Amino acid sequence: MIDQIRGLEDLKTLARARQADAAVAFDLSQRREQAEAGVPAAGQGAGVAAQIALARRESPARGSRLLGLAKTLTGMPHTFEAFRTGLLSEWRATLIVKDTICLSTEDRAGVDEELAADTGALDGLGDRAIIAAVRAAAYRRDPASVAKRASRAVAERCVSLRPAPDTMTYLTALLPAAQGVAAYAALSRDADTTRSNGDHRPRGQVMADTLVERVAGTPSGINGVQIQLVMTDHTLLQAGAEPARLPGYGTIPAEQARTIAPTAPGDNDLNLWIRRLYTTSSTGQLVAMDSTARLFPAGLKRFLQIRDDTCRTPYCDAPIRHHDHITPWHRRGPTTAGNGQGLCEACNHTKENPGWAAQTIPGPRHTVATTTPTGHTYRSTAPPLPGTPPAGGTRSCGSQERRLTLARATP
């Protein structure tokens, strides 16, 4: 069985290496076709990574990274051969490329020659050991480029949010080393002071609460920014067990939803609005809203965000940034909920490339079929809202089920 497990692992690596070869060939063929169609050189290659992502059931961002990895490996024959033969996994090949991408083609090839991964020189090393070896080799080749890359990294500082288990989130800040260390030290110092004054909360909990209070300006962390919460009226008003949905996070338990959205006067200093939306009882489809405007009005944008939750491109779960006409406006596509979808910025731009098309497909929930330039079609269906019955299920509570969207904000 151990031999079987190892053999399957080698097969997985071989398959991914073949995918990389195919991705490079596909990129070249698409660029040739685009050049023959008169696409300017600067625009050639647009949409290729998105097609690879759909084929691999990955997000567009990951598809772009996979294509970049494959193209870079063509100039690193030793690393690519180690990948093909199973000596390096796709992830470890990615680590090598990532830490040599700042080098020139010649210096990257030199590092590849020095490491000689296809001879088994890296076999048995963990991720950290491989990164250390690659960085040392890269620095010996071109210390100036490595240092310049570090200085450019400052411009990539950012803050991100992603879900964690049990209705928690990871709020992550990518900061320059000095700033990150200083921020952590300040939170640690304040936590130690608070605990020495008699606070019995764990140190990490005090640091987290202090961070929220300093960033949001209130102890609860909820201020003038609206927090949308989608739940059934039964969950809110009758202590029902149907989970709710918190846009930007995902599904949360009913009890947690009621905690976030208290309705009794005087529970807090916040104002609470309840916006009623209606869905069909059998499918959970939101009732449509229409507009004659060229741009989606605020209410219809909010409608699309609640219905779609994240970018509607298959396998992409990026936040919605654009509200897109499925049938374009210039082709007489109406500004309606049925003809609208929420997309991230990258996917919306990709959809506008030549050869891409999208159309709605009749079904119990809003469904969009996207066709790529190669003729492959991928479907995306809006996620079920809280209280939506399972496939084939019915409701016994009447012809319509009410959903409540709650927005909390300070006066």
Nearest residue to 154 via CA among 175, 139, 173, 180: 175
Q: Hey, which residues does 409 pair with through a beta bridge?
A: 271
CA–CA dist 26, 305 (Å, integer): 34
**Burial tier of 202 (Cβ tally within 10 Å: 0-12, 13-18, 19+):** exposed
pLDDT in tens, 33-84: 999 999 999 999 999 999 999 999 999 999 999 999 999 999 999 999 999 9
Q: Is 270 left (phi over 0), alpha (psi -120 to 50) or beta?
A: beta
Outline where 232-297 has alpha helix (H).
233-237, 254-260
CA–CA dist 60, 339 (Å, integer): 22
Q: Is a pLDDT exceeding 60 seen at residue 318?
A: yes
Q: Is a pLDDT exceeding 70 seen at residue 256?
A: yes
Is residue 404 classed as helix, strand or coil in its secondary structure? strand
CA–CA dist 152, 284 (Å, integer): 48
Q: Cβ(122)–Cβ(87) under 8 Å?
A: yes
CA–CA dist 24, 29 (Å, integer): 9
pLDDT in tens, 83-102: 999 899 999 999 999 999 98
Place of tokens 């299920």: 393
0.75 exceeded by the pTM? no
* Position 263 confidence tier, pLDDT thresholds 50, 70, 90: very low
Among residues of the chain, what percentage have pLDDT more than 70?
82
* Position 303 confidence tier, pLDDT thresholds 50, 70, 90: confident
